[in-house]
Amino acid sequence: MTNFNFVCPVPDPLVDFVTQSHGAGGKLSQELIDKVFLPAYGNAILATKSDSGELAVPAKPGRLAMTTDSFVVRPLVFPGGDLGSLAVFGTLNDLAVQGAEPLALTAGWIIEEGFAICELHRLAQSMGDALRRSNVQVIAADTKVVERGHGDGCYLTTSGVGWIRDGIMMRGDRIQSGDRILLSGTIAEHGMAVMTYRNGMEFAPPLQSDCASLWPLVKKLLEEVPGIRVMRDPTRGGIAASLNEFAEASKCCLRVWEEKVPVRPQVQRACELLGIDPWVVANEGKLLVVVPKDDADQVLHIMRSDPLGVEGAIIGEVDATHPRKVIAQTRFGTHRIVPMPTGELLPRIC
């Protein structure tokens, strides 16, 4: 969680705002690194200030996984998270759902001239907190400054390298008829928190982003349930997009029981107010898992005994009736197709 009472500790001679000189590679660039980034998330590898960070590949059979994601969220700080923590958790989650244990991250900042250094410090600190909590390091980083008016405050790109041990293979085409679909908790919280906060819509208590690292939960699942077919963190496009990706990859029909999909009443109300379907709204700390039927109860048990999955549920099953379609069964016993969201009306949220 971000500390809102942050007092800027950055002393002179750093000016208060980022200028073109901070991105020019000279003295001010060094000061930005030394006084903002290294205190926030420095480590022995970053401290060498080499052009590349080196890391040892685990000496066990397996494969490397690599991912990258750019974060352009507005506002930079929102209830439940901020750009810094989101950029760490988002990339860790992309690795985790592939079954990859995180080895290292990189961070690329693009900062608009005039951005407050206090603000940058706060985001970097939050990034550091998220890294420490996740026990992972940033081993390479870059900072660029763009002219005023050519950016939107600050953007952050993180890439991640992870290790997938032998025997783990997460792929949508492994889904089979008869499998069960599980979800680790309530949906639409990140997207609605950001959207309502940005639009100045007040809810009491405020909607909170679910922004969190899924790796601890995924790690337990991988250790105990080797048969998991595929996992996904349903970010942009929500569970509707992820379920459609599964249906397309597997050529199966995914049938979801609407009443089993958990939505907090407050989030449901916000969605109704804005005319938005919670199934298409982004999550940043939820896990969708497809498993063989016989493993479903065990996965549910592991989920529910983890803080990230206490509201986990078996939300549906896979069959062969309507290949490549996602079908929702309503509380009234009727059915509807859940299409791949077009998403054009959703504000930019991650």
Partner 1 sequence: MSAYSSEDVRDVEALAQGIHRITKGNWTVMEVCGGQTHAILKNGIDQLLPPAIRIVHGPGCPVCVTSMEVLDRAMEIASRDDVVLCTYGDMLRVPGTKTDLARIRSQGGKIRVIHSPLDACKVASEELRLGTGRQVVLFAIGFETTAPATAMAVRAAHMKSLPNFSVLVSHVLVPPALQAILSDPDHGIDGILAAGHVCAITGYEAYEGIADQYRTPIAVTGFSPVDILRGMLAVVTELESSKGDTSRHTRVINAYSQVVERCGNVAARRALDEVFECCDQVWRGMGTLPQSGFKLRSKYQALDATERFASETSSIACPALPTIQSHCRAAEVLKGKIRPTQCEAFGKECTPAYPLGAPMVSNEGACAAYYHHQSRNDPDVLGGSSR
Compare residues 52 and 199 and give the one whose CB is closer to partner 1: 199
Q: Is 199 in the site for partner 1 (CB under 8 A)?
A: yes
Residues numbered 63 to 92 that lie near partner 1 (CB under 8 A) are: none
What is the smallest separation between the CB atom of 318 and partner 1, expressed in angstroms? 17
Stretch that binds partner 1, among 118-126, 209-217, 266-274, 296-304 (CB under 8 A): 266-274
Q: What own/partner pairs with CB < 8 Å and gap ≥ 24 does 267-270 have?
A: 267/186, 267/187, 267/188, 267/189, 267/192, 267/207, 269/203, 270/192, 270/195, 270/196, 270/201, 270/203, 270/207
> How many residues line the site for partner 1 (CB under 8 A)?
30
Compare residues 120 and 288 and give the one whose CB is closer to partner 1: 288
Compare residues 264 and 286 and give the one whose CB is closer to partner 1: 264
Compare residues 139 and 252 and give the one whose CB is closer to partner 1: 252
Q: Is 220 in the site for partner 1 (CB under 8 A)?
A: no
Q: Is 322 in the site for partner 1 (CB under 8 A)?
A: yes
Q: Is 177 in the site for partner 1 (CB under 8 A)?
A: no
- 51, 166, 223, 344: which one contacts partner 1 (CB under 8 A)? 344
The three-point CA angle 324-330-331 to 5° equals 155
Token code pair at residue 262: 């958990």
Stretch that binds partner 1, among 96-104, 145-153, 213-221, 341-349 (CB under 8 A): 341-349
- 98, 186, 220, 287: which one contacts partner 1 (CB under 8 A)? 186
- 86, 263, 287, 290: which one contacts partner 1 (CB under 8 A)? 263
Q: Is 330 in the site for partner 1 (CB under 8 A)?
A: yes
Stretch that binds partner 1, among 76-84, 109-117, 148-156, 319-327 (CB under 8 A): 319-327
Compare residues 5 and 334 and give the one whose CB is closer to partner 1: 334
